[in-house]
A and B are shown apart, each in its own frame.
Chain A
Amino acid sequence: MKVYISATLRSFFGRRTETETQGNTIRKILKDLTDRYPEASKGLYGDDGNLRGFIRIFVDDEDRTDKSFHDDEIADGSTVLLLPFIAGGAPGESIIPDERRKEVSLDDSEIDRFSKHLLLREIGVKGQKRIKAARVCIIGAGALGSPVIQYLAAAGVGTLKIVDSDSVTPENLQSQVIHGTRDVKRPKAASARDTVRNINRNIDVTADNTRVEADNVMSVIEGFDLVIDCTDNYKTRYLLNDACILSRIPLVYAAVYQYEGQVSIFGLKGGPCLRCIYPEPPAPGLVPTCAEGGTISPLSGIVGSIQAVEALKLIIGIGENLGGRLLTVDTLGLKSKFLNVSRNEHCPLCGNSPSIYEPEGFNYEEFCGLMKEEEEIPVEGYTAEELAEKIESGEPVTVIDVREPHERAVKSFPGASVIPIGQLVRRMNELDPEHDTVFICKQGLRSILAIHTLREAGYKGPMYNLKGGMDAMKDIIFSNEAGWL
């Protein structure tokens, strides 16, 4: 078989460009060539025994470099080409400037501790110093925060700030692996800080109990090199995006829901922000927050670990990061894909003529279409106890459950009719305007939206909200519960 060898591979094969070889498969041809040019073997193959990245094998204009083609028989009269693939590019830009890197040093114990990083030539001592010099602010010490905080601490990030205003509850322990059973009722930020100290005492770690709001988000992230969004609600997500873009701090964004997650990086030079992709938050009330919706336990581990890797890549300045791309991960179908996203010149925040100059101080309730407008009739409601009493006393009352099917599977309300929020208006005639109707959801927010929606649609019957939702019903047991089922 005649093989054409590019002259650019001359240091392996000499100046010969065409040679007759034994064999009619790529494997046999390569064997014959390396037998005749023993020096070439070192050039063609890496230490792992695979062809080096810059070698390409073509058969009649078709790229046949992949091993899976190597045993295919090559037709007589075909031309086999041995060609180079030339690639390279500018070194990645670290978000930690050289001056900051030079200010830190690694002692013997650190050389020991981080030796697995130092062995990677893309990281090495310089990269590890950058990691040590980095100041990273993590918003949320929950499911996503758990892997992010622990991996960044273990990787040697010198300064960490953990911001979370919640306390640990037993249901958190299913996915928030930074906390343990003993941490229940403790503030999440403090519990996470203790885990970090347990990993490495030398890390400068701060726990911050602040609830992130429009008036404090700028100061919460001030002075940090990188912010990681590990929150579970749209309000904080948009606040962080706005604050990071306005402060020119890159943001590693992620969100998880049920079995799916997405990750991206916002605020890089020339890259997009969250509002470039979603200028406004999703349709009010219809998307349950993660706190309401539920996720499979390891999902946040996967997605949070990707956030941690992206954070380290930005700090060291290596690799192809997720700037300009949105990675989606589907753990149920075990699929992932990239969506290219670019800066939108009409973006209200980072576009050519922006309209947002400070973090948008929207109210969550307003944001979700739940805020009571001035002229709006307030929604009346019952507490869990009041509703239970009403039902126990035998008063005629219709209960409408507006939750999604998977939420009802966890705990159903005895005797309730089920009408998902999206079908309410269409199925309005199923309601009896002569009787009281009580609307329930998980936390008592979507049920308010349900009532407003029906009022707007012209429903005239008396409507009540279950305050605090099913979560508040937890401890109530009906004496005749069996009769309801």
Chain B
Amino acid sequence: MTATLLLLAAVFAGAAAALGHVHRPGVAGEAGLAFWLATAGLWLLATVAVSRLARLEPRAPAARRVVDAAVPLAFGAFLFFLWEVIVVGAGVPAVLMPAPSAIAAKFVASLPTLGADFVQTFVKSVLSGYAIGCTAGFLTAIVADRVPFLKRGLLPLGNFVSALPVVGIAPIMVMWFGFDWPSKAAVVVVMTFFPMLVNTVAGLSAAGPLERDLMRSYAAGYWTTLLKLRLPAALPFVFNALKINSTLALIGAIVAEFFGTPVVGMGFRISIEVARLALDMVWAEIALAAIAGSLFYALVALAERGATFWHPSYRQ
């Protein structure tokens, strides 16, 4: 326990020293062999420290939660450290790969732009498209479940549409819905509709035969059975689709903006900043997309835990 903490502290101090050292003139871009050897040693030490941390199993639940969070954090932090040190130490051109510190600086400096892009792409296109696509997919699944020919006809079509590339749909949607965010939201609707449809249809048949017999023995009608048995049993499937769609929606909206958009939006910014070789801005947008996407996913996953706590994969 104490040994592990000491080791971690040593790695931390070593990393801080290396970071301070690498930015000095004379080292930045021309770091010597000794520096790289020291970094490699630090890497070894960090590996040992993190693996020891992962093996710690403290009794107290609070301490356990801290350890559970600390392992991926320490791991991620060290990756960023390596990235910074290698890029700066070896003098990698910013066009190829900017250092994390440069990206962070750019991020903070362009907060207003990033904010506007976020509102345009995430709040307007992603959220509205996601809500419409998921709701429509869900309702269609319930109808398709009742109407056999729809189920047989729609599901193969769903596979077909899922195979369509965004790059194909996006220009068409721009033709239909114009340059602004509604055409991006439409792309998101198309992308999220079918995963939700397919998953919900599968979920609606998840209730077991005995559970259905019970409803039948109560002479329960279609709607009662749907609300009290089949929908609750389908929830894990529905949440699966919600999670898949949370990532799909963001990708769809960003890529769709490559095909014509007003002069704002995360995808728009990425495409023009690449053309201008302003890679730090591109990376800042990527960081924004990563943060927004992870938070969105985490939020859906959290709701899933609350709603399907009874499912074998979540029971405590």
Q: Indicate, yes or no, whether A interacts with B.
A: no
Which residues of B pack against A, CB within 8 Å? none
